[in-house]
């Protein structure tokens, strides 16, 4: 199963979500977008991923590690990340 961390940002806001890539190259949302720093986006994402029992603990860890990296990078660099799509390929 291929999951993607979706990121949209501006100078003041970072939005993160997870999508699943389907066979025909279209994407299905797995989570809604969570907004940092107005909410605790990382914990909200963690809670939602944990509620999806079909996502393995390893996949959740990878996605949350990527979210941590993006949040930390955004905070420390204060740059505009127009759109990032990180492919997280895992075997089921």
Q: What is the CATH number of domain 2-89?
A: 3.30.390.140
Q: Where are the alpha helices (DSSP H) in the chain?
A: 41-51, 57-77
Cα distances (angstroms) measured from residue 78 to each of 65, 73, 74: 19, 8, 5
- Residue, of 47 and 81, whose pLDDT is higher: 47
Q: What is the residue extent of each domain of the chain?
A: 2-89
Q: pLDDT tens-digit profile of 19-54?
A: 999 988 899 999 999 998 899 999 999 999 999 999
Q: pLDDT tens-digit profile of 3-13?
A: 999 999 888 88
Structure pTM? Answer: 0.79
Which band of pLDDT confidence, cut at 50, 70 and 90, is reported for residue 73? confident
pLDDT of residue 78: 57
């Amino acid at each position: 199963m291929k999951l993607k961390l979706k990121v949209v940002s501006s100078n003041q806001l970072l939005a993160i979500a997870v999508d699943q890539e389907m066979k025909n190259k279209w994407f299905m949302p797995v989570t809604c977008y969570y907004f940092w720093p107005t909410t605790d986006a990382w914990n909200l994402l963690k809670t939602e991923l944990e509620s999806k029992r079909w996502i393995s603990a390893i996949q959740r860890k990878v996605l949350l590690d990527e979210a941590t990296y993006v949040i930390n990078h955004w905070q420390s660099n204060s740059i505009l990340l127009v759109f990032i799509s990180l492919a997280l390929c895992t075997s089921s």
